[in-house]
């Protein structure tokens, strides 16, 4: 749910990074935080456990610049990937404008990706959204791993609506901005339509 | 139900700002924030420069959402009020209407009782404005609406510019 403030001429959009545990969601937004102009980025808030696994969410506000005289700000959130944090994941999807699904390319994690997409569909539905229509991007992360499954196989397994698909190595920043941009484009085009 | 955009116009914004400004003075508090349930700041009053308002908004919404989850686990619809007591500063968080959260930060120059009293009155006024915003969003969603969005002509070029291309 985009928040448009005509008085202060601001548009605020919420983007949620979703995916199975250890797929690289936090790495994505950490990389964006490191690269962003310090004047344009907010503070990266991480609610993590002692072992640095996301407990509730990571949050990064980003001022992107102007569109049609409005200041555009993206609020990036990640969800905890571990299976038992489902209640948290559901809460974080509340009012989101777009979802980036970060898939782990490693072959032993293929099933976890499929389960996570199914879980995303359920949790979006519970928040009043439809996974088939919400702005959505599929990121295939960890393409540099020796056990990475072939691209075609991952596409067959995980791509379901002709969504933009981006190959990535988030730890090196590869594909990270491209993924965010693909999601931002859909959200802003949605704004145009509504 | 979930996809109605929250659109705030000058007139409503001024009204909200006026109400929370009054609340801040009347309750002798340091800062008052109005936040959307999805984590975005709507309006603020008081010494806001001393606080990272964006993070505060997001964490407050997360806190309220988690508390909502707790309420449902014990069979409550929601907990409408949260209070955090600190050594110096305290945080009073309450739900306004269906989608607003009112955050009051105060120290020993005020009291919980005074804050609660003033918040109650302001909440009613704020809820009325939220109701208006909600109704308009509903009306705008109808095709018969004559509201013309300035975003009807966003181009690929506009989006590329955001990313510095």
DSSP annotation string for B109-149: TS-HHHHHHHHHHHHHHHHHHHHHHHHHHHHHHSTT-----
Residues pairing with A48 in the sheet: A54
CB contact under 8 A, B36 and A3: yes
Whether residue A67 and residue B159 make contact (CB cut-off 8 A), yes or no, is: yes
* Per-residue confidence in pLDDT tens, chain B, 165 aa: 445 678 888 899 999 999 999 999 999 999 999 999 988 899 999 999 989 999 999 999 999 999 998 999 999 998 989 999 999 999 999 999 888 999 999 999 999 999 999 999 999 999 999 998 888 877 777 755 556 677 888 888 888 888 876
Nearest Cα neighbor of A24 from A123, A169, A175, A180 is A169
Residue A10 confidence (pLDDT): 92
Question: Rounded to whole angstroms, how far apart are CA atoms B160 and B153?
Answer: 14
Domain assignment present for residue B149? The answer is no
Nearest to B154 among A42, A95, A191 (CB): A191
Angle, alpha carbons A23-A27-A28 (nearest 5°): 95
Facing B39 at nearest CB: one of A14, A68, A177: A14
Q: Is residue B154 part of a domain?
A: no
B34: containing domain:
10-144
For testing the chain A interface, which of B8, B162, B164, B165 should be mutated: the one with the most A CBs within 10 Å?
A: B162
**Alpha carbons B130 and B97: distance in angstroms, whole number:** 7
In a domain, B165, yes or no: no
Give yes or no for a contact between A11 and A191, defined as CB atoms under 8 angstroms apart: yes
**What are the pLDDT digits (tens) for A94-137?**
999 999 999 999 999 999 999 999 999 999 999 999 999 999 99
Structural domain includes residue B150: no
Please judge whether B59 and A45 are an interchain contact, meaning their C-beta atoms are less than 8 angstroms apart.
Answer: yes
**B15 in a domain, yes or no?**
yes
Q: Which residues of A110-141 are buried (b: 16+ CB within 10 A; e: fewer)?
A: bebbeebbebbeebbeebebebeebbbbbbbb
In a domain, B41, yes or no: yes
Q: Which residues in chain B are closer than 8 Å to A40, comparing Cβ atoms?
A: none
CB contact under 8 A, B149 and A67: no
pLDDT (0 to 100) of residue B3: 55
Residues A18, A75: Cα–Cα separation, whole Å: 14
Task: Establish if B1 belongs to a structural domain.
Answer: no
- Of all residues in chain A, the percent with pLDDT exceeding 90 is 84
Neighbouring CB atoms inside 10 A of B57's CB total 26
- Number of Cβ pairs < 8 A linking chain A and chain B: 128
Whichever domain contains B21, its CATH number is: 3.30.450.30
Q: Do B6 and A4 touch (CB under 8 A)?
A: yes
Neighbours of B100 (CB within 10 A): 22
Nearest chain B residue to A184 by CA distance is B159
Rounded to 5 degrees, φ, ψ at B95 are: -90, 135
Positions of chain A with pLDDT lower than 50, given as ranges? none
Question: Are A95 and B14 within 8 A, CB to CB?
Answer: no
| Interface ipTM | 0.87
Domain count, chain B: 1
Q: On the CB side of A142, how many CA atoms lie within 13 Å of its CA?
A: 23
Residue B100 counted as domain residue: yes
């Amino acid at each position: 749910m985009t928040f448009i403030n005509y008085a202060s001429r601001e548009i605020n959009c919420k983007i949620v990074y979703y995916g199975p545990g250890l797929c690289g969601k936090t790495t994505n937004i950490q990389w964006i935080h490191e690269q962003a102009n310090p004047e344009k980025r907010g503070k990266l808030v991480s609610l993590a456990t002692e072992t640095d696994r996301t407990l509730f969410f990571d949050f990064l506000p980003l001022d992107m610049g102007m569109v049609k005289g409005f200041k555009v700000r993206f609020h990036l959130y990640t969800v905890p990937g571990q299976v038992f944090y489902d209640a948290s994941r559901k809460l974080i999807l509340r009012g989101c404008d777009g979802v980036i699904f970060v898939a782990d390319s490693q072959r032993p994690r293929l099933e976890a990706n499929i389960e996570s997409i199914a879980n995303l569909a359920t949790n979006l539905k519970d928040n009043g959204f439809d996974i088939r229509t919400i702005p959505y991007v599929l990121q295939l992360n960890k393409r540099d791993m020796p056990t990475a499954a072939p691209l075609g196989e991952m596409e067959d397994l995980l791509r379901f609506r002709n969504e933009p698909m981006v190959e990535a190595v988030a730890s090196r920043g590869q594909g990270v901005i491209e993924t965010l941009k693909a999601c931002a484009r859909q959200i802003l085009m949605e704004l145009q339509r509504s | 139900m979930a996809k109605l955009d929250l659109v705030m116009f000058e007139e409503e914004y001024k009204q909200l700002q006026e109400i929370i400004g009054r609340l801040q003075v009347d309750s002798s508090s340091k800062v008052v924030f109005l936040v959307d349930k999805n984590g975005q700041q709507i309006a603020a009053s008081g010494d806001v420069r001393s606080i990272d308002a964006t993070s505060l908004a997001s964490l407050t919404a997360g806190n309220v959402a988690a508390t909502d989850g707790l309420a449902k686990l014990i069979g409550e619809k929601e907990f409408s009020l949260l209070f955090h007591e600190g050594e110096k500063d305290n945080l009073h968080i309450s739900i306004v209407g269906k989608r607003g959260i009112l955050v009051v930060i105060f120290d020993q120059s005020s009291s919980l009782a005074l804050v609660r009293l003033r918040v109650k009155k302001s909440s009613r006024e704020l809820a009325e404005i939220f109701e208006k915003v909600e109704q308009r969003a509903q009306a705008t969603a109808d095709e018969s609406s004559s509201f013309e969005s300035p975003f009807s002509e966003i181009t690929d070029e506009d989006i590329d510019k955001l990313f510095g291309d």
